[in-house]
Amino acid sequence: MFSQYFGQYLLTEKYLTDEQLKIALEYQQSVRLKLGVLAINAGYMNSQQANQVHQMQSKVDKRFGELAVEAGYIKEEQIEELLSSQKFGHLLLAQALIDKNYMSLEKFEQAIYEYKKKYNISEGQFELLQSDDVDEIINVYVNLEDEKYEIEVKQYISLFMRNLIRFIDPEIYTKKITKFEEFKTKCVVSQKIKNSINFMTYINAEQDVFLKIASRYAEEELAIVDEMAKDSVGEFLNLNNGLYLVGMSNKGVELDMEPQSVCFEKKIGSAYVLPIELPFGKMELIISTI
């Protein structure tokens, strides 16, 4: 999941093109992560040191880690830590970009530094992002500073994203959340959460994407947006909202929800709209705090 965010950052900052990102995301599935990339990402070495070790390898038949330790660039225990660490998705993407000659080690190091600086990300936060911690990803990327229910809305979005990953597709990422005074939907299912906190929640998409979401959740191929497809997406929203109510109840906040409904071409008043990119298209999670 985080590799998608990091890839979009590289694209936005013009480190690479749309086509290069697409090729790299496909190629990363077969990538073998190299120690130099891991060491730079962890801050144990810089790109110049990694390149020097690579040059040494062209003259001496020794492993990268062995040469790096001999040169005093890194400690043996740090090598062991890196070799046993999780293969973070964005590093597989970075390795793919390097293998394809779309990005150098120097550019990768620069991109990591600038990325952390732009989003004011600490080392602890960065570790959570790399491990696809959805709560931290939403905390970094979803800005709701002026919202009275900022914490509750972010908790809702985090839960929704986890359920999308679990039931629909793991390769997803959000774009910038925007507050609209009026938003016109395409094919939308909605449900109200009420009592001490009142939300209207919506899943909105073009009919082809709506149908794909319905098919994934129903675990069978649906051909048209009929009652079965509508019920499927409605049940997904109902499941998510039910889990949200349970989580809030565990915190001492008792909420209820109304039955879900489906409609086409509906105008919604003031609401937050969060675009979510799926491999098969775009949808929007819409939340109106009323």
What's the rounded mean pLDDT across residues 236-253? 92
Residue 160 has pLDDT above 80, yes or no: yes
In this prediction, residue 136 has a pLDDT band, given cuts at 50, 70 and 90, of confident
Which of 56-65, 77-86, 166-175, 186-195 is predicted most confidently? 186-195
Over residues 186-203, the pLDDT tens digits come to: 999 999 999 988 999 999
Which range has highest mean pLDDT (2-16, 105-119, 184-198)?
Answer: 184-198
> Does the structure show a pLDDT above 70 at 86?
no
Return the pLDDT at 89.
65
User: Average pLDDT over the chain, rounded to whole?
Assistant: 87
Question: With 60 as the cut, is the pLDDT of residue 256 above it?
Answer: yes
Burial label for 264, CB within 10 Å (0-12, 13-18, 19+), is exposed
Please state the rounded mean pLDDT for residues 108-128: 86
Picking from 110, 120, 117, 136, the residue whose alpha carbon sits closest to that of residue 41 is 110
Q: Percent of the chain scored above 90 by pLDDT?
A: 40
Q: What is the 3-state secondary structure (H, E, C) of 101-149?
A: CCCCHHHHHHHHHHHHHHCCCCHHHHHHHHCCCHHHHHHHHCCCCCCCC
pLDDT for 87 beyond 60? no
What separation, in Å, do the N-terminal and C-terminal C-alpha atoms of the chain show? Answer: 31
Which domains occur in the chain, in start order?
2-135 (no CATH), 143-289 (3.40.1550.10)
Mean pLDDT over 160-185 rounds to 89
Query: Is 258 in contact with 200 (CB distance < 8 Å)?
Result: no
Give residue-wise pLDDT tens across range 198-220: 999 999 999 999 999 999 999 89
Is the pLDDT reported for residue 171 higher than 90?
Answer: no
